[in-house]
Amino acid sequence: MSTHWKLTLAYDGTDFHGWQIQPGLPTLQGALSDAIARITGERVLPQGSGRTDAGVHALGQVASFSLLAPIPASNLMRALNRVLPAPLRVLAAEPVPPDFHARHSAMEKTYQYRIFPAASGAVCPPFLARYAHVSPWPLDLAAMRQAARAVLGEHDFTSFAATDPDLATRADSAKPPANTNIRILYESNWSQDAIADSDTPSLLRYTVRGNGFLHHMVRNLVGTFLAVGCGRFQPESIPVILAARDRSQAGPTAPASGLFLVQIKYPE
């Protein structure tokens, strides 16, 4: 009798070559597989809710796999955190029904993108540099909010998908409708932290929640919103960009360091 497991993970993605296992490179899936093998002697390939890219962080990534060894959940979590590298932590471990799959069972995913606004000459603290994108341009937050609202709801997000043919069809979505770039966004907004002190400007945060995401979709949305924020695009151009279904119409891909996979929602 094997047990099927669901792990909730947090990681600092800076020093990993992304989620997906690659020979000879430090990856999150590889580190987790190694740690499980070291504890149980069983070599499994944990399935993630999606494959985060190199440099992308997670506050609540989910992975699933099966083990023959009978282990209490709290022991599995403690043992994994003892052998995993400090930038990768198990926040929760729970046995789940055998039909649970971290990616296929996912209903919704939430991402956040953090920007340090440095236009005023403010210096990004070194302790934040790994976890935010530093923008040197003055940003029009009202225009960025208007642009973010324009992608809410159901759209064909081809203009915001990675153009590499291998990557575009790659499942980075929670519930991937086969062969379509249509996704539904339930939440898409910019917020700014309350100002803690006068020397350091507060972070800008883009939060987006949807039923699925194409590869690079969040970073391409953010890159486009930043282009709106510094006046290169008008917020009114977002529906036009969506309608074009053409990656070249949207803005550049924002850097990985600002992106956090926040939460995956599954059926109760």
Question: Binding residues for its own copies, per CB under 8 A?
Answer: 10-12, 57, 74, 78, 81, 86-91, 121, 123-127, 129-131, 134
Question: Pairing state of beta strands 259-265 and 57-67?
Answer: parallel
Cα(171)–Cα(51) distance, integer angstroms: 8
Three-state secondary structure call for residue 208: strand
Q: Which element (helix H / strand E) includes 122?
A: none
Which residues, including other chains, have CB under 8 Å from residue 243's CB and lie 6 or more apart? Answer: none
Residue 151, φ and ψ in degrees, nearest 5: -100, 0
Which residue pairs from 23-26 have beta carbons closer than 8 angstroms and sit at least 24 positions apart in sequence? none
Residue written as tokens 């939440």? 187
Among the listed residues 268, 222, 101, 109, the one whose alpha carbon sits nearest the alpha carbon of residue 173? 109
* Nearest partner of 159 among 226, 233, 253, judged by Cα: 253
Residue 154 CB, shortest distance to its own copies, in Å, is 34
- Please give the positions annotated as active site: 53
